Amino acid sequence: MAYLDHAATTPMLPEAAAAMTAQFAATGNASSLHAAGRRARRTVEEAREALAEALGARPSEVVFTAGGTEADNLAVKGLYWARRDADPARTRVLAGPVEHHAVLDAVHWLGEHEGADVEYLPVDRYGRVHPEDLREAIARNPDDVALATVMWANNEIGTVMPVRELAAVAREFGVPLHSDAVQAVGQLDVRFGDSGLAAMAVSGHKIGGPYGIGALLLGRDQTPVPVLHGGGQERHVRSGTLDVPAIAAFAVAAVIAAERRERFAAEIGALRDELVAAVLRAVPDAVLGGDPDDRLPANAHFSFPGCEGDSLLLLLDAQGIECSTGSACTAGVAQPSHVLLATGTDPQLARGTLRFSLGHTSTKEDVAAVAAAIGPAVERARTAGLS
């Protein structure tokens, strides 16, 4: 088996699994005052401190959520509502067109149901949002902008965004910028504190932690309207009993990801380059998606002319190679990716995509397996054609 879909989810680190299982044996609601509660609270707060340090943030800036999607929803909707409540003129939402659906669909929903005037920022052929375009969009009328949201790095094609420059522009105008950093953590130098961001979403299971846990890094001056109302946990921004085992394991994974990041990025980047070279050798007319240089080190994305991505997936799966087309499904039917369409890729070409995403268990053997299988698979998928 060659598992090359780490961007979907990556195997849990043994250290994280150990931290999690250790907590399963313990009782305690972190909001309780008795000894069991105090023990749980200590675990949560130590995890919060560790996570904050790993992400260059303050502990008070960490709001635990049930994953990246919830963190994105809280940032986008919560900040929109708060900014509009403070000034009803603020209804414009600026978003990158290549955002993950957790952001894109939340923004779209605000447009459909909350009177938001959604404006998609221009991107170049690598999907990158440029600071001058953000400046132009805000400067047109700085007073009506509720928020802007641009991901740290793209989950499909791997392009890295100039987040700090974008945040500096937004700051100049007093506009909060949210960034989905789910794919970036563990691969790029993600430090919330000096990013200039108002909010940043991160996820546990993409970095070797458990599923169902994430966090919104939230500047202390930001008071989004909650999406979940209840017991008032997490700065009254995100109610709900804290998931102590998941939080403990998430923090362990985040700390390890930060410690190993530089070396991991260099090694996985070299392995990824081998994979890209091997694929382009086997299929010379394959098109590498995203920025060839400034991209996530573990991401390789290709379009194969004349192929259906689904056919390639089936053929590679039969060879024990697990990867993804990179695009979302509608009722299980692959649609051309909104990311590729936004970068101006021909819609026919956009149907034949594959994303290989490497991770901490990837080996040279995985790359060799792809190198051996991809040529015949593409040839065969081309005979099957585009249905």
Partner 1 sequence: MTENLPRAPRPLRVLAAMSGGVDSAVAAARAVEAGHDVTGVHLALSANPQSFRTGARGCCTIEDSRDARRAADVIGIPFYVWDLAERFREDVVEDFISEYEAGRTPNPCLRCNEKIKFAALLDKALALGFDAVCTGHYATVVLNEDGSRELHRASDMAKDQSYVLGVLDEKQLAHALFPLGDTLTTKEEIRAEAEERGLAVAKKPDSHDICFIADGDTQGFLASRLGKAEGDIVDGATGEKVGTHDGAFGFTIGQRKGLRIGHPAPDGKPRYVLDISPVNNTVTVGPVEALDVSALTAIRPRWCGSTAAAPGTYTAQLRAHGGETEVFAEVVDGELRVRFTEPVRGVAPGQAIVLYDGTRVVGSATIATTTRAAAASV
**Backbone phi, psi, residue 373, to 5°:** -95, -25
Given the complex with partner 1, which of 18 and 384 has the nearer CB atom? 384
Given the complex with partner 1, which of 293 and 383 has the nearer CB atom? 383
26 binds partner 1 (CB under 8 A): no
Given the complex with partner 1, which of 223 and 319 has the nearer CB atom? 319
130 binds partner 1 (CB under 8 A): no
Contact assessment for residue 241 and residue 88, using Cβ atoms and an 8 Å cutoff: no
Give yes or no: 323 in active site. no
The CB density around residue 223, as the number of other CB atoms within 10 Å, is: 16
Give, as ranges, the residues between 255 and 284 that touch partner 1 (CB under 8 A).
Answer: none
Given the complex with partner 1, which of 39 and 338 has the nearer CB atom? 338
For 291-329, give one letter per residue: b (16+ CB within 10 A) or e.
beeebbbbbbbbbbebbbbbbbbebbeebebbbbbbbee
Binding residue (CB under 8 A) for partner 1 from 220, 293, 365, 387: 387
22 binds partner 1 (CB under 8 A): no
Instruction: Kindly give the residue spans of alpha helices, DSSP state H, lying in 283-337.
Output: 309-318
Given the complex with partner 1, which of 5 and 61 has the nearer CB atom? 5
Give, as ranges, the residues between 319 and 378 that touch partner 1 (CB under 8 A).
Answer: 329-334
Residues 6+ apart with CB under 8 A from 371: 275, 278, 279, 281, 282
What is the per-residue binding string for partner 1 in 294-323, x denoting contact by CB under 8 A?
----------------xx-xxx-xx-----
Query: Could you give the C-alpha distances from 368 to 177, 270, 271, 272, 312, in angstroms and in order?
Result: 41, 14, 10, 12, 17
- Nearest approach, Cβ of 179 to partner 1 (angstroms)? 32
1 binds partner 1 (CB under 8 A): no
Q: Which residue has 């060659």 as its token pair?
A: 2
Task: Supply the residues annotated as catalytic.
Answer: 329
Give residues in contact with partner 1 (CB under 8 A): 310-311, 313-315, 317-318, 329-334, 380-381, 383-385, 387
